[in-house]
Structure formats: structure tokens, C-alpha cells
Amino acid sequence: MITFEDVKENEEVKTYLQTADDNFIAVGYKEHGSRHAITSAVVSGYILNSLGYPEKDVELAKIAAYLHDIGNALGQTDHNLTASILAMKFLRKIDMPPKDIFRVMVAIGSHEDRNEDPPNEICAAVILGDKSDVHRMRVRKTDKKWFDLHDTVNYAVSETGIKVDAKNKIIAIHVNIDVKLCSVMEYFEIFISRMQFCRRASAYFGCEFELYINGDKML
């Protein structure tokens, strides 16, 4: 079985992620390199593991999450689709079975389709891993005077985490925001569509989605 570790240590994939991140550094856009890839992978694996999915599905989710943004190496537009094709070529090369490749491909290809339901459990896990990664560490600009609202909101988030309560069928995101830097309203302005997408992903698993900001239940 091809594992997440096999993919994570692969030099070709490291180059895709570094190139994607270099492109974003050049334009001052938030971090989209190996930190985001690993964080998304760990969370995606945690989701499926907590919900009792087999080890193979957990590995596929981690692989898909790790690769989900490699398309940014070619440009941000339609990066979900380019990432899916790049992943197909790479996974073929390391002899992943075609059926597994397509499960990974559809998960990567659908990770930005916010108005559609996720087509498989790998995709639902990737969405939750990807969209829950909001943190000040991702902001590149050092001078706040150049921050747009997106930077401000990310910068204000000092802590974020996701919790699966398999027994009660609840998936909850917990965010700590420095309200001196950004209001809760501003957070919603930027992230409401992402949170709705997380709700769709949670519903795939038959789970309710909850959002807590500074300990208060918002959704």
C-alpha cells in the first residue's frame, strides 16, 4: 500500500509544493506550501480515523490532502483541476492502483466546489482539513498596512482546531480570534462560505457541523 509518508518524502512532490509556495510568496499571498499540505493531511486523516474508516481510506485522504493544492505550481486559476492531473501523473508513476488514483483525483478536483456536495469520503475529509487551516502563521506580509481583509482575519487567528465527536455525530471547528485585530463579523465576512462548505462535508458523514469562536458557539 502506498502511504502518506511515501508521498510526503517524494522529491517531485516537494518541488510542486515549493514552486506553488514560491509563486504565492512573489505576490504576497498566504502560505500554501508544505506546512498547509501537512496540516491538511493530518486533519483529513484524523477525520476519517475518528469516524472509523479503514486505514487505507485514511492514507488516501492524507495523500489527497497533501496534494490538493499542488496545482498552484501552475497558477491559481482552476488549481483544483490542474492539481488533480498532476497528482494522477505522479501517482501512476509510483504505481498506485488506478481505482485509488481516481478516488484521490476526484477529491482533489472537487476541493473548491463550494456549491456542490463532496463526491466521496476522501473529498469530504480533504475539505475539512483544507478549510479549517486558518492561522496567522499563513500570513506572509510583515507590515500590517498592506493587509487586506483576508490577511487581517488570518492574522487575528491565534489558534484553530477541529474535533470529531463520532458518538454524537458532531464535527466542530474551534477558533481563537484576537478581537482587537478583527471582529467576529469580519471573520464571517471572509469565512462564511468556507464554513458552509465544511457543513456540507460534515453532512457527508451524517454529522452536524459546529463552529466555536473564542469558546462561543456561532454555528
Residue closer to Fe ion, measured from CB, 57 or 69: 69
The window from 16-24, 68-76, 159-167, 202-210 that contacts Fe ion (CB under 5 A) reads: 68-76
**HSE-up of residue 36 (Cα within 13 Å, Cβ side):** 25
CA 9, distance to chain mean position in Å, is 19
Residue closer to Fe ion, measured from CB, 28 or 183: 28
The window from 20-28, 116-124, 130-138, 150-158 that contacts Fe ion (CB under 5 A) reads: 130-138
Q: What is the 3-state secondary structure (H, E, C) of 19-56?
A: HHHHHHHHHCCCCCCHHHHHHHHHHHHHHHHHCCCCHH
Query: Would you say how long the chain is, in residues?
Result: 219
The size of the interface with Fe ion (CB under 5 A), counted in residues, is: 2
What is the phi/psi pair of residue 58, to 5°? -60, -45
Per CB under 5 A, the list member of 57, 100, 130, 151 interacting with Fe ion is 130
Residue closer to Fe ion, measured from CB, 69 or 210: 69
Scanning residues 70 to 99, which ones bind Fe ion (CB under 5 A)?
none
Per CB under 5 A, the list member of 31, 57, 69, 210 interacting with Fe ion is 69
**Going by C-beta distance under 8 Å and a sequence separation of 6 or more, which residues neighbour residue 86?**
16, 67, 70, 71, 73, 74
Residue closer to Fe ion, measured from CB, 84 or 120: 84
Q: If binding is defined by CB under 5 A, does position 121 make contact with Fe ion?
A: no
Residue closer to Fe ion, measured from CB, 79 or 103: 79
**Going by C-beta distance under 8 Å and a sequence separation of 6 or more, which residues neighbour residue 161?**
132, 173, 174
- Closest separation between CB of residue 69 and Fe ion, Å? 4
Residue closer to Fe ion, measured from CB, 26 or 185: 26
Query: How large is the angle between the packed helices 79-93 and 98-109, nearest 10 degrees?
Result: 160
What is the phi/psi pair of residue 188, to 5°? -65, -40
* Residues near Fe ion (CB under 5 A): 69, 130
